Structure 1
């Protein structure tokens, strides 16, 4: 170290401090985004999920990560060995050869085999999630700027009529996010869990141990419906209906977000799926169907009353 805090190679120690701070900021941003999508303390990997097939993408992610780590170790290991062990200052003399046919065949064939295996595994997973044959329930999901609509189509072979609702950011989070609100985001909680920007006014309620077909579309721009615990993410595209299925095995509340940049309030349209027992879902569905059944009855009663009080038409003498 020379005077003025400058190393002989001309690099100031402050450079390393700034670089470390920048790296920490980037890591914090990445981990924060991951936490917002699926809030688990200290989570760095994908979630295992809670559905029948959610373990498949988790396994595939770990396989791909393992392949990348092995390749990275080999490539960067060879590079650093060449840089430090065979550098010019140690008297190393570069070999003079153009190519090695066998070596080129090997390092071309191995990556091709790896890609084929990964593609095979990924394709199997995609086709499995897309096969909605034998579904016991259908839910239509529609994306809007900036909320979601859920319509229950059928359940256990019976059509469901007029059960649907909009689901948007909960009022407490919405009030807190306003500029100058002075409210503390850490104070936004539900059931003891911090839920700032992660909760909604009306969650999607579904039964466990049921193969649920989700048909997903959008009304305005492209959105993406993503609940990490379900194991997949599906784009919601205007004019196109995409489909996937999930069979949730564990009751609980599972959170997600729109995963496609869709406009000004993209970050404020969370997703909440509440999985309950079949018995509790049957009760909930019956409660939701009561207002829909009462409305036609009220209309019919009003029509009958109007007819009874109307004056009789005059008859011809």
Structure 2
């Protein structure tokens, strides 16, 4: 028995070490792809092995004492009430250990919160229920990042597809944040409504998105890749449907992506000045509805009983247009989950989605809402 125990104690550090070095180990934290995440991982492993050494030392002494001074060997307990030397030793050693680990830990903490003097790229990150908006102020482009349609469809009630059919279920988006590799990127994180938290484990940090203030985070990713995370602050009923996806691409691919985004924005601006008719409104409205509304009201417009009202045959979508516009633009006072889209969507986009909701599924009001009507309702 004692030989088996001794063998187990000898082989345990080897087994633990091998497991700790395996980056894919599910029982250890992620090493990550940024300098901050690697420093945090190294600090974590240092503290882990310090704790292992302390545990081995303390329990080793306890086990040796139990065996060496057991009653069957004739050992008798010493009778004393205090020992100044022992008390000083067992107080001084923990203090020295804490000081020794506090020095590198403080250095990592200060490094984590030290901003880059001149970031190469600046991105404003806005959290809202339940999506992220990314704006590149130096490039004059912005876009919303919503849960991907495959995850959204698989998460709905009575869905035809299961979560197993959706790649990267609940951690995939339609428009990821794109950053260049080998460059310093500053994220200025805030919120438009409640407190959210922007978190990607492989980047080594999370930052709270607080209304009315910006929390900065600097990242530098050296290798291309896709890195996934989620909102880490309980922010409402759609909290689970607010993933974060970061795509790190080469500087050349990043410049190409910027050009494509700017071209798409120019095309949208051109469409905004084009003719307005029912066909155009329904096509654009369906796209906006699938992106912004379907996660709550369902793709079929039937909603979720007791939580999200049905839009098919609903009182709002089949009632006066003015009331429909008001709730989309300004939100709902009775149900704060229904957010205001007046600051998120243009007049044309709101006109399109309201037109779609009033004429989709079994709704057939025949209404064509115009951008001018939206402007008047603001």
TM-score with structure 1 setting the length: 0.70
Q: 1:122 to 1:148 in 2, by over 3 A?
A: farther
Q: Which residue in 2 is equivalent to 1:231?
A: 204
- In the superposition, relative to structure 1, how do residues 250 and 113 fare at CA in structure 2: closer, same or farther (>3 Å)? same
Higher alpha-carbon deviation: 175-184 or 220-229: 175-184
Q: Which of the numbers 172, 177, 200 marks the counterpart of 1:204? A: 177
Q: After superposition, what is the alpha-carbon deviation per residue over 1:245-272, rounded to whole angstroms, capped at 9, x for unaligned?
A: 1111000111112222333232222111
**Alignment correspondent of 1:185:** 163
**Unaligned 5+ runs, structure 2:** 1-22, 276-378
C-alpha contact (below 8 Å) 1:254/1:274 kept by paired residues: yes
Q: 1:300 to 1:171 in 2, by over 3 A?
A: closer
Give the deviation of 1:45 after TM superposition.
1.9
Q: Residues 116, 251 of structure 1: CA spacing in aligned structure 2 closer, same or farther, 3 A cutoff?
A: same
CA distance in structure 1 between the partners assigned to 2:221 and 2:62 by the alignment: 47
Contact 1:221/1:237 (<8 A) preserved? yes
Q: Which residue of 1 aligns with 2:224?
A: 251
Contact 1:223 1:235 in 2 (8 A): yes
The residue number in structure 2 matching 1:140 is 124
Match of 1:170 among 131, 148, 154: 148
Which residue does the alignment assign to 2:192?
219
Q: Distance in 2 between matches of 1:214 and 1:129?
A: 14
SS at match of 1:287: helix
CA distance in 1, matches of 2:80, 2:39: 46
Q: Give the TM-score taking structure 2 as reference length.
A: 0.60
Which residue of 1 is the match for residue 85 of structure 2? 102
CA RMSD across the alignment: 2.7
Alignment of 1:146-157 (within 5 A): 146-153=130-137
Please give the alpha-carbon distance, in whole angstroms, between the structure 1 residues aligned to 2:69 and 2:236. Answer: 53
The secondary structure found in structure 1 opposite 2:234 is coil
CA contact (8 A) 2:154 2:165 kept: no
Is residue 119–residue 185 contact of structure 2 (8 Å, CA) maintained in 1?
Answer: yes
* Greater percentage in strand: 1
The one-character-per-residue Cα deviations of 1:32-67 (angstroms, maximum 9, x if unpaired) are xxxxxxxx8643222222224432111001011111
| Equivalent in 152, 160, 168 of residue 139 of structure 2 | 160
Tell me the residue number matched to 1:59: 42
Pick one of 14, 38, 57 that aligns with 1:74: 57
CA distance in 2, matches of 1:71, 1:264: 44
Structure 1 gap ranges (5+) = 1-39, 154-158, 190-194, 303-317
Structure 1 residues 213 and 104: alpha-carbon distance in aligned structure 2, compared to 1, 3 A threshold: same
User: How do residues 259-298 of structure 1 correspond to structure 2 at under 5 angstroms?
Assistant: 259-293=232-266
Separation in 2, partners of 1:235, 1:97: 54
Cα distance in structure 2, aligned partners of 1:94 and 1:267: 59
Cα distance between partner residues in 2 of 1:117 and 1:144: 42
Q: Deviations over 1:84-139 (max 9, x none)?
A: 66456776543322222222222222222322233332322232232221211111
Measured at CA, do residues 273 and 297 of structure 1 come closer, stay the same or move farther in structure 2, by a change above 3 Å?
A: same
Task: Assess, with a 3 A threshold, how the Cα gap between structure 1 residues 88 and 255 changes in structure 2: closer, same or farther.
Answer: same
Contact 2:119 2:184 in 1 (8 A): yes
Measured in 2, the distance between the counterparts of 1:93 and 1:177 equals 67
Match of 2:106 in 1: 123
Deviation at 1:224, TM superposition (A): 1.8
User: Bigger CA drift: 274-283 or 238-247?
Assistant: 238-247
Taking the aligned partners of 2:228 and 2:274, their CA distance within structure 1 comes to: 43
Cα drift, residue 297 of structure 1: 7.4
Q: Does the 8 Å CA contact 1:52/1:249 hold for their aligned counterparts?
A: no
- By relative contact order (CA 8 Å, sep 6+), the higher-ranking structure is 1
Q: Cα–Cα, structure 1 residues 75 and 224, in superposed 2: closer, same or farther, change >3 Å? A: farther
